[in-house]
Structure 1
Amino acid sequence: MNIRSAIVAFTAAAALAGCDFRSSDRSAAPPARPEVGVVTLHPRNVAISSELPGRVVASLVAEVRPQVGGIIQKRLFREGGEVAEGAPLYQIDPAPYRAAHDSAVAALRKAEATAPSAQAKVDRYQGLIKKNAVSAQDLEEAVAALAQARADVATAQANVASAKINLDYTTIKAPIGGRADKSSLTQGALVTAGQADTLTTIRTLDPIYVDLARSSAAMLDLRRAIDEGRVELPGRAVEVRLKLENGWVYPITGRLEFTEAKVSQTTGTVTLRATFPNPSHLLLPGMYVRAIVEEGVAPGGFLVPQRAVARNVKGEATALALGEDDKIEERVLTIGKAVGNNWLVTAGLGDGDRVVVEGLQLVRAGQQARGVEVVIDDASGELREREPTTAKIKAKG
């Protein structure tokens, strides 16, 4: 009896234990759906721009050289300072050129003195020939003498003008306005007309040019996008913004002037020129910059945060979207240019789609999840919750 009672007690205890296990299994709650941050997409017109390398170029450059020879008496400008167009820069010894001018003026007066006498002789002979008082040959010789006198006057006038030009050239003036470089010669130096060495260089810095380089392949892609209607040209002048070498953005917007009609055979690039106001002379020739050029507008485009886009094993761009039944779907995307911290998506997503931007490591395709609307800062690409009081999204890993 004792053995049988023990067996019965053991069997009853086992049955009760099995009942408790099954009861506990049935009462276990289903696992909670993971919470992910989503952004709802809507089509909009997206401004398309490109960032191109460039160099700053002076809008006008003049290399100053003497046009007459002589000894430099004075330098009349401040090195590195601003000079106005026509301002005197150097003074060359004018004495020999003033003497040449005075001599030319005297020769002109001499020629002008003989012209009236020759004219009077012609007038007199024309009256006498009617009376047969002089021969026709005498009249012809008088007319020829008058023509010679007039030619002598014209020659003397030209000599005076030439001498005056050379005398004026002894004062070397600024051909353009701008900033002058240092002087290569000092007072007392001998210069010659048209010498190879420049005296100084003047550069106009306001406005100033920026020459940009763009690949011919990118130009063809843009042309194709315009032809297919994916990009619309702006109806105004193309605006250009600059990033300087230190990362600072130049505060004044410029405009695109022209695109060269040739491709460099060595670099395969096309040169574009932009003009910028430069009142403070912050931009200097030779400075390296990067220009943001507006190319057009992509109508009805979708901007997807870059943090939401990944690559699959095929190398395709993909994103996770939350469907109507709260199931995660993997979408294969066709992406275009980067716009800030977003990708411009041209296919794979539609109006109202909810793209997962936070908690991507918590879910996979086909799994149900609970979406929380969030906002992505376009400038930094960082996530900001639309309602700070909602539960925070916890990303593991």
Structure 2
Amino acid sequence: MSSPGTQVHHLDGVRILDLFAGPGGLDVAAHFLGFKSIGIEWDRNACETRYAAGLPTIHADVSVMREKRFDEIPKSVDVLAGGPPCQSFSVAGNGAGRRALDMVETFIHRLVDGEDEAQIDEELHALGDPRTALVLEPLRWLLKAIETEGREPYKVIVLEQVPAVLPLWEVYAKLLRGGEGRLKGVKYEAECWELKTEQFGVPQTRTRAVLVARLPGHGAVEPLEATHMPFDLHRGRRNAAQADMLPTDSAISEAKQRWLSMAEALDAASELEDSPVDVSRLRTGGETTFFVVSNYGSGGDPKNRGRRLSSEPAFTVTGKISRNKVYKDIAAYEADRYDRFTIPEAGVLQTFPHNFPWSGNDQAQQVGNAVPPRLGMHVLGRALRGNAPTDEELAAATTWPSVPRTTTDELRRLGCGDQSQCPPESHKVTRSRQESAP
């Protein structure tokens, strides 16, 4: 496995194209499995994190890249991956995507049937949330590859989204198996599932809808095998005064490990060399004990903030994780003396390496938007080579290799160049920042 940033030619041997790449959850997973990737990302801040991490990136809009710059994608790419923005489908969003699921399904069929794309785009944009249309981009990228001379259909397709999108992934899978219309007889073995992240060693409860498709010849796509037990979300109400209550292990199968807790993950990260994670502020008598009060309400009541113990997995890590209140003990709670998770700590709860070089602004949002790399390793491992990551690969994934500043600069030139092809005004500097510059 090569270290990111050590290649003289950064695009040599790239196999995976990561649409909507964010700070690099899938790319980090690919790296630790020994595969090289390139991401397309429109957010400048996420691009800065990617450059600092040594991840090849094109700072662009996914749709613009497909329509006008498709020839810039290396021909060595044979894996299409991505997680389209989920806000319009998310429970936390305004629900435009959920209400439009049936309509979006018709657009999927219309695209494959060869209807006019300009008309489809016009109708999509009228749905109320333009991000809803982005769930169609992976299909459009596949059709573009099939219809472009000198290109081959992607050998593997890996997509992930919030659970509400599972019905659309099922439509995708059915069409990919059929190979009709613009697919021109190209057929895939395709399956999709709902996966719970804590069942794959992520110290966080988060459910994702995942699709994996492969061209025939590599056997059927088999379901992923969970390595950990699920966390019981319905174990009854409790309040902060019950923070000494710990979950029992009585129902845990010998074949699977118990889910990983926040304390276990953060303690392990804090013990690594030169770690930016330091949970000593949350320790009592040498043991890391705290509880988290969510920024979000629960049970339909915005004032009823959910709570998790340090001995449990975290809530779903969102872009608002820095608003969660972390209390060391009951006395701190009663005095309203709370802490916050740092960005490295939030990254660890997403299973990013402890020393991942978060950069740019809006870092909490970057962390929350990302695919948990450990889940990505399981999904990509199954999709690309038919097996789960090894214990050695998972152990290595806790530390990110150092990336020279020269490599970061080279990748920024690769991704942004003279900035003329980057998303409009994405590099705009405000007057206040100009005035404060040294």
- TM-score (normalizing by structure 2): 0.18
- TM-score (normalizing by structure 1): 0.19
Q: Which has the higher helix share?
A: 2
| Structure possessing the higher relative contact order (Cα contacts under 8 Å, 6 or more residues apart) | 1
Q: Which has the higher strand share?
A: 1
